[in-house]
């Protein structure tokens, strides 16, 4: 016999909760054990019902889904939170993941995708709506690049040199702006290439533009 997935629905819209209940009742392996219309109720019902999955909205009265997720994961880390929201904002997405959510799916998703997300979350897997997965990857890659730059330990003068190179200034012009010798500019440029693992001026300029170090970025 298939073990039932106990789901708690937390959303302040009664019609949506009713629709979700009907959807899940048609599945032989999913059982809705409760409905909460705000985050505070979700926390209380998590303590009482201990569901495997909480389908959590973000914007709710009294206590929002973000705070409810923080409290639930702090007290019962084994409960899996699947965010079901209309919000496409990066801010909400990353904040919910930081709070401990295991998945993030939009209310605009297909019903089959939502059911798949519930089952995946119940297994302890991470489920991200495709567009959100792209945002997470982009955020991770940005973090890696920022960390790379931090670990490179660029000095303030090296950053200035990189900025001016990206703006199209020649070594002589950079030397005049920074009030240093041309040979010093050459040294800064060599240090930049070494620290950032680059080999040409073009790569330096591309790096600077990618990281917003030019006025046109």
**204-217 pLDDT, tens digit each:** 888 877 776 665 54
Domain 5-136 has CATH 3.30.1120.10: no
* CB-based contacts of 166, cutoff 8 Å, min separation 6: 204, 205, 208, 209, 213, 214
Q: What percent of the chain has pLDDT over 70?
A: 83
Fold of 153-210: Arc Repressor Mutant, subunit A (1.10.10)
Q: In this structure, are residues 209 and 215 in contact, taking their beta carbons and an 8 Å threshold?
A: no
Among 77-81, 127-131, 140-144, name the one with the lowest average pLDDT: 140-144
Judge whether residue 140 has pLDDT over 50: no
Judge whether residue 187 has pLDDT over 60: yes
Domain ranges (residues) in the chain: 5-136, 153-210
Please tell me the predicted confidence (pLDDT) of residue 131: 64
Confidence of residue 150 (pLDDT cuts 50, 70, 90): low
Tell me the pLDDT tens digit for each residue of 93-103.
778 888 999 98
Among 45-54, 65-74, 128-137, 163-172, name the one with the lowest average pLDDT: 128-137
Query: What is the rounded distance in angstroms from the CA atom of residue 51 to the CA atom of residue 78?
Result: 10
Among 14-28, 51-65, 84-98, name the one with the lowest average pLDDT: 84-98
Q: What is the pTM of this model?
A: 0.63
Q: Copy the structure tokens of residue 14.
A: 């009664």
């Amino acid at each position: 016999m298939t073990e039932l997935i106990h789901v708690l629905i937390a959303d302040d819209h009664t019609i949506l909760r009713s629709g979700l209940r009907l959807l899940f009742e048609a599945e032989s392996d999913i059982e809705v054990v409760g409905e909460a219309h705000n985050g505070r109720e979700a926390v209380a019902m998590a303590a009482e019902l201990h569901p495997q999955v909480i389908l959590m909205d973000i914007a709710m009265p009294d206590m929002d889904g973000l705070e409810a997720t923080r409290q639930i994961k702090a007290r019962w880390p084994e409960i899996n939170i699947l965010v079901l929201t209309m919000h496409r904002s990066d801010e909400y997405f990353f904040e919910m993941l930081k709070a401990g959510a295991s998945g993030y799916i939009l209310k605009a998703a297909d019903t089959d995708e939502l059911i798949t997300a519930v089952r995946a979350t119940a297994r302890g897997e991470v489920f991200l709506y495709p567009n959100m997965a792209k945002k997470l990857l982009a955020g991770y890659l940005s973090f890696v690049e920022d960390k790379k730059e931090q670990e490179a330990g660029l000095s303030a003068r090296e950053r200035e040199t990189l900025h001016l190179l990206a703006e199209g200034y020649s070594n002589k012009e950079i030397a005049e702006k920074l009030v240093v010798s041309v040979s010093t500019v050459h040294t800064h440029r060599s240090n930049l290439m070494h620290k950032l693992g680059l080999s040409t001026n073009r790569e330096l300029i591309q790096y600077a533009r990618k990281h917003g170090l030019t006025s046109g970025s």
